[in-house]
Amino acid sequence: MKRLTCFAVIALSLVPVLANRASAQQGGCVFAETAPIYAHSSGDKIEYTASKGFCVGGVDGFEKKDERVHVVYFANAEQKGTPHTAWMNPSDLSPFDYDCSCDDSGNCKPIHRSFTSVWYPCFIEARDKKLAALAAPAQSAPAAARPLTNDDVIALTKAGLGDDVVLAKITSAPAVKFDTSVDALIRLKQEKVGKTVIEAMVKQPEKTAQVASVGSSTKLRSVSADQVRVTSSSDAIKGCKSLGMVHASIDTFWGGGTKTVTKRLQEQAASHGANTVLLMGSFTTVQKNNGSEMMGDGEAFACGD
């Protein structure tokens, strides 16, 4: 009888653990054309720019801090390798639940960490269902592109992209909505926006995007990173459509350099499909306590059908 009692106590003590393993966790997918992934819960430092259909897992149930949520993601097209943690605006994500039964440890994490980390099968299954759901309504009601604003121009200028790149962005943007009032122009000048850029904004303060015809394919396509052409000339992307900014960074402790950062930028641009051209921006190296971090940025363009 004593043994039976002890066994019963042990069995009861396992109930909370099993209940935890059977619970659900959340992931989320980007539904807009692009969404920034921030290095911290506050501040403007962008660690990565996610494209439409890019999915992340929640850290500690999408821990929220300073109005942002904690996420984990892979910064490559293969969606495996070294996972990264960062922060996103919850408004940029369409959430989904996934079953935790695939995690043998009972911790309900979205990523299986081993020699090469990968998403858990349960996460992948729920993610793919969410992507299918996001794609279906887009075929019947395509969303209008968000217009480029004064704040976008200021952000591009602060990123050190140069007047030529900012002008190319204004020209190729499907929609713009600039504030050209006296106060707004003074602010642009104070934020060191170039004279030629300000003149372009004044000449065309507003432009409305043309909505794509209903029934056009919205399936997300990706190509190899090597198929993305890299250029530093704004002339090379004249007449091309902007697909959004891309950002990448590496810890120089692990080696690499500009070549590695460029490769990661190509991987991001590759998610947009064939005929994608990457217009390179600037490289910045920031010293850290245990080494340094190199960051790079650029912009992806669709050039051709």
* Average pLDDT over every residue of 169-192: 89
Share of the chain above pLDDT 70, in %: 76
Beta bridge partners of 49: 36
Residue 23 has pLDDT above 90, yes or no: no
Residue with the larger pLDDT of the pair 198 and 160 = 198
Q: What is the pLDDT of residues 242-269, one digit of tens each?
A: 887 777 777 665 556 788 778 878 877 7
Whether residue 124 contacts residue 74, with contact meaning beta carbons closer than 8 Å, is answered with: no
Beta bridge pairs of residue 302: 241, 276
8 Å CB contact between 71 and 88: yes
pLDDT value at residue 251: 65
- State the average pLDDT over residues 161-182: 87
Statement: residue 215 has pLDDT above 70: no
Whether pLDDT at 180 is above 80: yes
What is the average per-residue pLDDT within 225-244?
Answer: 84
Calpha distance 74→101 (Å, rounded): 22
Q: pLDDT band for position 179 (50/70/90)?
A: very high
Most confident stretch, 60-69, 84-93, 107-116, 221-230? 84-93
pLDDT at 252: 63
Query: At which residue do the structure tokens 């992948």 appear?
Result: 124
Q: Which pairing describes strands 117-119 and 276-288: parallel, antiparallel, or unpaired? A: unpaired
87 DSSP β-pair partners:
38, 70
223 pLDDT higher than 80: no
Predicted pLDDT of residue 123: 85
Output the pLDDT for position 109.
77
Q: What number of other Cβ atoms are within 10 A of residue 57's Cβ?
A: 24
Tell me the per-residue pLDDT of 117-146, one tens digit each, with 9 for 90 and over. Answer: 888 888 888 888 888 777 765 444 445 567
Can you list the pairs that 6-9 forms with residues at least 24 positions away whose Cβ atoms lie under 8 Å? none
What CA–CA distance (Å, rounded) separates 41 from 28? 17
pLDDT of 153 over the 60 cut = yes
Query: CB–CB of 191/183 below 8 Å?
Result: no
Q: Average pLDDT, whole number, for the chain?
A: 76
Question: How far apart are alpha carbons 195 and 180 in whole angstroms?
Answer: 13
**Structural domains present in the chain:** 23-140 (no CATH), 150-207 (no CATH), 225-302 (3.30.110.70)
197 Ramachandran zone, left/alpha/beta (phi>0; psi -120 to 50)? alpha
Per-residue confidence (pLDDT) for residue 234, from 0 to 100: 82
Q: What is the pLDDT of residue 193?
A: 93
138 vs 7 pLDDT, higher one: 138
Farthest-apart Cα atoms in the chain, separation: 90
Distance CA 4, CA 9 (A): 9
Residue 85 has what pLDDT?
Answer: 92
Identity of the residue numbered 258: T
DSSP 44: S
DSSP label at 238?
Answer: T
**173 pLDDT higher than 70:** yes
